[in-house]
A and B are shown apart, each in its own frame.
Chain A
Amino acid sequence: MSSTHRSTDGPVIDIRSLTKAFGAVRALDELDLEVAPGEVHGFLGPNGSGKSTTIRVLLGLLRADSGTARLLGADPWHDAVRLHRRLAYVPGDVNLWPRLTGGEAIDLFASLRGGVDRARKAELLERFDLDPTRRTRTYSKGNRQKVALVSALASDVELLVLDEPTSGLDPLMELEFQRCVSEAAAQGTTVLLSSHILAEVEKLCDRVTIIRGGRAVQTGTLADLRHLTRSSVRVVTGGDAGAVQHVDGVHDFVADGRTLHFTVDDVALSRVVSTLAPADIRSLVITPPTLEELFVHHYGVHDADVQPHAVATGGAS
């Protein structure tokens, strides 16, 4: 993997008003998605929101009902084979031929894509701690997932399409996976990472698209998206600071003796601090908004019901 990929000038993935129905169910409803070259793009949504359907359209496995989808500047349905030599795909649920060994399955997928890099394969097997001599019948879900990951990462491609790739991996292997994706991104590989694990997306992705009910509800950089939500504040004061609840931009105010919890719009932060200052601040913790809050915000839970500290994730920083 010494080469860098910066071959396409336009977007690597360009989806406009994509619609796909299965019978009466509209799996994709006018979906838009744009991924720029070299970008690690998070594709977030709950189960059944249409993430896998989008990816399967991009892979030419499903045919769109309406709208356009362009992949690396070409049509994913008509130019499927040509495009597939330039990308590697890892499904969320990997099924393998039970009688093949893990090593054989890795070689098979890699070579059907273009070629096997034996040195790279050996390195990845080591990093993911996978025994390639066992029949895939005896593999756990996590090990089958590793087969697809090793095969994809051992292929020299411009685009990685990863559909919930870490389901079944233990936390150590997840870290290894994140390192691998970071390395690929550093080489200029474009990555589309579908996930519902926010911590993973926060760590890896430059930009994020949130999908719900087959529609993109939000897209932008993590910083862009964070502006859409509020920081949460926990403050302990010596004096009475109750007045802060009346500051414009403060929400969800809860007082517990001298300890106050509330959320605040970023624009109101300085007003809040100046209101608190005279009340003898003993401790002040301001937590930046997490993607989790944003997620909850967009998935039907009403704003007022959200207690920010109750939904904090490991990815909050």
Chain B
Amino acid sequence: MSTLTRPRPVAVDPAGARGRGAFVGTARLLRFALRRDRLRIPLWALGLGGLIGYFALVIPVAYPDPAALQTRAALMADPSGAFMTGPGYGLADYSFGVMIANEMLGMLAVGAALMSIVLVTRHTRAEEESGRAELVRASVVGRHAPLTAALLTLLVANLAVASTVGVALVANDLAVADSVAVALGVAMVGLVLGAVTAVTAQLGESTRSSSGMAGAVLGLAYVLRGVGDAQQTGGSLLSWLSPIGWAQQTRAFVDLRWWPLLLGVVLAVLLVVGAYALVGRRDVGAGLLAARRGPADATAALLSPVGLDWRLERTSVLWWSVGLAVFALLTGSLAQGIVDSFESQPQLAAIFGEQGQTDLLRATMAAFLGFFAMAVAVYAVVSTNRLRREETEGRTGAVLATGVSRHAWLGSSVAVTTLGAAVLLVVNGIALGVGAGASVGDASLVGEFALASLAYLPLVLCFVGLAALGYGLRAGTWWVWLLLVASILVGLYGPVLDLPEVVLDAAPFGLVPAVPAEDLDVVPLLGMAAVAVALLLAGAAAFRRRDLTA
């Protein structure tokens, strides 16, 4: 059996084969990627297409005739309206199609961009970070195959989004050519941001830094066109520095032109070429930017459960603050316009407060404070539920094996969440006050709204208490979310749905006095605080009694 001992012949790769193999395995990786995303892509596509369907139902109710639509067009002509939406083509003759192109195209494009950022990150940097890419690349797969498969998946996903958006528009009796332009504009923005992500995925070593950088580019793109559009109707030079601006500059449903879409295609191609060049210059798993070093010793501020919790929570509080501040600021800046237009629209006035109210501005803004408080309640539940992940990932056990009691651990988490929620509520009030104060010329609104917003803190604490009780009992999170979502839905749509007054008053967000429009009635607030404390104590007692899961 001498043949068994003879070395296996090794074929030496001829020099000419270099480079050709870089794309080997792309087709198989593409099929695998599409299989992994077989639910995600259709859901994004249906979600974005469905948004158009939803507005097609709602807009005719809110704006039943052309005159009503013109009042909306007036809002969009305002710089703050233009900043939030689009360049304002066709404002003189506002129709549903024009409205879609002016106000919704930007939103849909951001949606497609977010989908693309997440998608490209998942199929490139996340694979490398988890170490799976190493296994894949060690098999018969070329250097460029993973990136190529990710980019082809990106193309498929954005074409899917374009199809549903296009079909939704045409189904609502809008012109086919203009509908296609809007749909392709959305897909173009998605492709450009996906290509941006293909580049950022080569730069950072972590998924967070890769999608973070791409997210920053998206934010910049939206703000650039926002400032540009606010400067003058039809957009200024700044609008033309943004891919979202290019999509809006097709002037769909007004005076259609196709060539701005080409700018996006060219940029996407250039970015993809750059990404391929970068892939060839780095090792698998490595980034071009070195991972940042941190301190070798902890500061005294970190060395307690509260210090640790704040450290883990502060980034998230910061981002929630930024997001809510932007919304509240923009909402506040529409104050004068909202007051003007509501006077002519009884059904909207019904949502925001009694018509006969003396101070329509304060009533409207009090309602907005309530809406933003709902977002803070969501933050509070998410933040409290972080306790669950700490436990299942084994870190809680490690901390409780030191000199930290269970009550201290739970208590510091609740304390930090409460602090974060209070910060967010004050940020809401200040931002809304700054916006509204600038709009109507009354600086005193800032302090007034900041204090008024804190009236929601006891209610938010009740949801913290519910989440803490669920954690202590090791129960699922669904019932906390169910209660919160039900409270939000009744709070938001209760007045429109003609629910009985009893239900509206008993709904949690209805119990909070609508300061500053109403007087501050402390009785319900004290009641809520008592409920919150009781829930927290019950949660702590339950947590003290149970086994740790991991």
Of B298, B398, B405, B548, the residue contacting A62 (CB under 8 A) is: B548
| A interface residue count range (under 10 / 10 to 19 / 20 to 34 / 35 or more) | 35 or more
Known: A95-B395, A114-B403. A137 touches B206 (CB 8 A): yes
A112 contacts B by Cβ under 8 Å: yes
For residue A134, which residues in chain B have a CB less than 8 angstroms away from its CB?
291, 293-294
For residue A85, which residues in chain B have a CB less than 8 angstroms away from its CB?
402-403
A148 contacts B by Cβ under 8 Å: yes
B156 contacts A by Cβ under 8 Å: no
B405–A95 touching, CB < 8 Å = no
Of A61, A118, A132, the residue contacting B547 (CB under 8 A) is: A61
Min Cβ gap B248→A in Å is 38
B394–A91 touching, CB < 8 Å = yes
Residue of B nearest to A86 (CB): B403
A11 contacts B by Cβ under 8 Å: no
A107–B298 touching, CB < 8 Å = yes
Q: Is the interface of B mostly helix, strand, loop or mixed?
A: loop
B501 contacts A by Cβ under 8 Å: no
**CA A156 to CA B152, docked complex, whole Å:** 58
B205 contacts A by Cβ under 8 Å: yes
B256 contacts A by Cβ under 8 Å: no
Of B305, B312, B403, B546, the residue contacting A81 (CB under 8 A) is: B403
Of A59, A96, A133, the residue contacting B401 (CB under 8 A) is: A59
Known: A61-B547, A81-B404, A100-B311. A108 touches B291 (CB 8 A): no
For residue A295, which residues in chain B have a CB less than 8 angstroms away from its CB?
none
B498 contacts A by Cβ under 8 Å: no
Of A56, A81, A118, the residue contacting B397 (CB under 8 A) is: A56
A111 contacts B by Cβ under 8 Å: yes
For residue A107, which residues in chain B have a CB less than 8 angstroms away from its CB?
297-298, 302-303
A133–B547 touching, CB < 8 Å = no
A61–B397 touching, CB < 8 Å = yes
Q: Beta-carbon contacts of B308-319 to A below 8 Å, as 1s and 0s? A: 100110010000
B547–A62 touching, CB < 8 Å = yes
**CA A63 to CA B393, docked complex, whole Å:** 20
B296–A133 touching, CB < 8 Å = yes
- Give residues 152-207 of B contacting A (CB, 8 Å): 205-206
Of B205, B295, B401, the residue contacting A138 (CB under 8 A) is: B205
For residue A120, which residues in chain B have a CB less than 8 angstroms away from its CB?
none
A84 contacts B by Cβ under 8 Å: yes
Q: Beta-carbon contacts of A133-157 to B below 8 Å, as 1s and 0s? A: 1110110000000001000000000
A113 contacts B by Cβ under 8 Å: yes
Of A63, A103, A108, A132, the residue contacting B303 (CB under 8 A) is: A108
Of A95, A100, A138, the residue contacting B291 (CB under 8 A) is: A138
A89 contacts B by Cβ under 8 Å: yes
Residue of A nearest to B408 (CB): A81
- Give residues 374-421 of B contacting A (CB, 8 Å): 393-395, 397-405
B402–A109 touching, CB < 8 Å = yes
A95–B398 touching, CB < 8 Å = yes
For residue B545, which residues in chain A have a CB less than 8 angstroms away from its CB?
63
A97 contacts B by Cβ under 8 Å: yes
A103–B397 touching, CB < 8 Å = no
Q: Beta-carbon contacts of A90-105 to B below 8 Å, as 1s and 0s? A: 0101111101110110
Min Cβ gap B391→A in Å is 10
B294–A108 touching, CB < 8 Å = no
B398–A91 touching, CB < 8 Å = yes
Residue of B nearest to A91 (CB): B398
**CA A193 to CA B291, docked complex, whole Å:** 36
Of A59, A93, A138, the residue contacting B394 (CB under 8 A) is: A93
- Give residues 281-302 of A contacting B (CB, 8 Å): none
Known: A61-B401, A62-B547, A97-B312. A112 touches B303 (CB 8 A): yes
- Give residues 278-322 of B contacting A (CB, 8 Å): 291-298, 302-305, 308, 311-312, 315
For residue B548, which residues in chain A have a CB less than 8 angstroms away from its CB?
56, 61-62
For residue B298, which residues in chain A have a CB less than 8 angstroms away from its CB?
100, 103-104, 107-108, 111
**CA A134 to CA B292, docked complex, whole Å:** 8
B295–A104 touching, CB < 8 Å = yes
B312–A108 touching, CB < 8 Å = no
Of B297, B308, B400, B402, the residue contacting A103 (CB under 8 A) is: B297
Min Cβ gap B452→A in Å is 35
Min Cβ gap A104→B in Å is 4
**CA A101 to CA B295, docked complex, whole Å:** 7
**CA A85 to CA B402, docked complex, whole Å:** 6
Known: A63-B547, A134-B291, A137-B206. A113 touches B311 (CB 8 A): no
Min Cβ gap B317→A in Å is 14
For residue A100, which residues in chain B have a CB less than 8 angstroms away from its CB?
294, 298, 302, 311
**CA A96 to CA B292, docked complex, whole Å:** 18
A312 contacts B by Cβ under 8 Å: no
- Give residues 29-85 of A contacting B (CB, 8 Å): 56, 59-63, 80-81, 84-85
Min Cβ gap B390→A in Å is 9
Residue of A nearest to B397 (CB): A61
For residue B311, which residues in chain A have a CB less than 8 angstroms away from its CB?
99-100
A101–B394 touching, CB < 8 Å = no
**CA A112 to CA B403, docked complex, whole Å:** 6
- Of listed A101, A103, A104, A148, residue having the most chain B CB within 10 A: A104
For residue B312, which residues in chain A have a CB less than 8 angstroms away from its CB?
97, 99
**CA A84 to CA B404, docked complex, whole Å:** 8
For residue B399, which residues in chain A have a CB less than 8 angstroms away from its CB?
109, 112
A113–B394 touching, CB < 8 Å = no
A89–B302 touching, CB < 8 Å = no
Known: A63-B547, A107-B303. A95 touches B394 (CB 8 A): yes
12 contacts between A and B (CB under 8 A): A61-B401, A84-B401, A91-B401, A99-B315, A103-B296, A107-B298, A108-B308, A109-B402, A118-B297, A132-B296, A132-B297, A138-B205
Listed in ascending order, the chain B residues whose CB lies under 8 Å from chain A are 205-206, 291-298, 302-305, 308, 311-312, 315, 393-395, 397-405, 545-548
Report, nearest first, the 3 A-B pairs whose CB atoms are least far apart.
A101-B294, A107-B298, A112-B402
Contacts A84-B400, A100-B302 known; list 15 others, CB within 8 Å.
Answer: A59-B400, A61-B548, A62-B547, A62-B548, A84-B402, A89-B401, A89-B402, A91-B401, A94-B394, A112-B403, A113-B402, A114-B403, A133-B295, A134-B293, A138-B291
